[in-house]
Amino acid sequence: MTIAHGRPGDATPFALPELMAEYLRRQTSAHEAGVGLTDAAGEVTPYEAVPVQPVEPRLAWHEAGAAIRCFQGEEDTDSWPAPVDWSGLVASHEPAAALAFSAGNFPQLVREIHTLIMATDLSVLRPQPRPALSAPGLAAWAAGFLARKQFQQALLAIGTMRLARQFEEAQELLNGQRHAVPTALQPAWANEEAALAWHQGDAERALAMWQTQPASAPVLFNQGMAALFLGRAADARSPLSRAVSQLSDENGWHHLGKLYLALAEMKM
């Protein structure tokens, strides 16, 4: 089965192993030159025995900007400078399960597929409190973009702060600039506010925030993802299906959405 084809709703529990394997194969497909891997990156062998190579930092940076590209058209986020310690942040970040489609996040964080398949209660896989990761200078980096009124770059920087679990500092920057953000960027800003709540463990509030936002691929994805990991698989199917249909199959978030959609159908 090739998951790039067919309607989003076509995934079934019977296709889940093939879907997972294809998702993992896509994670290993891009090893571009440029940003080197750090020694902290390790190889993971998931349930399907498809070897997962260390996440290539340039690929992760491309996917980290995907939410902004969805909201802002063809913005060239790849050309924006990554933080100095991006490679280390990518390599040291623990696997995720319930991942919001938001600035700074990249779908390759979801790599412990066996855990997803075997979980009888997906709600236990929601983000849990953990110490912040070592990534000094992120707040100053984000503040520099804000001082220059480069709000799109600032949003990606704030998302990177959230990825590093620098929650309080990220919240302060989001709150302080909410009314200064250009109208065109406000939907992306609101999505990031909800993602920050989600990754801090405030799941119900995050879902309520996403449910009030205009439909877009990231918002629909997040509505479905949140419902799935809140134990509401039936509510997850429609928004996930709509999100997947709006995302190119060249986008890693498309395939993570297919994975979540298959899990939702398996749990229904």
Tens digits of per-residue pLDDT, 167-194?
Answer: 999 999 999 999 999 999 999 999 999 9
Task: Choose between 148 and 75: higher pLDDT.
Answer: 148
Task: Output the pTM of the full model.
Answer: 0.84
Task: Say yes or no to pLDDT of 33 above 70.
Answer: no
Tens digits of per-residue pLDDT, 59-112?
Answer: 999 999 999 999 988 779 999 999 988 999 999 999 999 999 999 999 999 988
Tens digits of per-residue pLDDT, 221-268?
Answer: 999 999 999 999 999 999 999 999 999 998 999 999 999 999 999 998
- Annotate the chain with three-state secondary structure: CCCCCCCHHHCCHHHHHHHHHHHHHHHCCCCCCCCCCCCCCCCECCCCCCCECCCCHHHHHHHHCHHHHHHHCCCCHHHCCCCCCHHHHHHHCCCCCCCCCCCCCCHHHCCCHHHHHHCCCHHHHCCCCCCCCCCCCHHHHHHHHHHCCCHHHHHHHHHHHHHCCCHHHHHHHHHHHHHHCCHHHHHHHHHHHHHHHHHCCCHHHHHHHHHCCCCCHHHHHHHHHHHHHCCCHHHHHHHHHHHHHHCCCCCHHHHHHHHHHHHHHHHC
Q: What is the pLDDT of residue 53?
A: 62
- For the chain, what are the domain ranges? 8-267
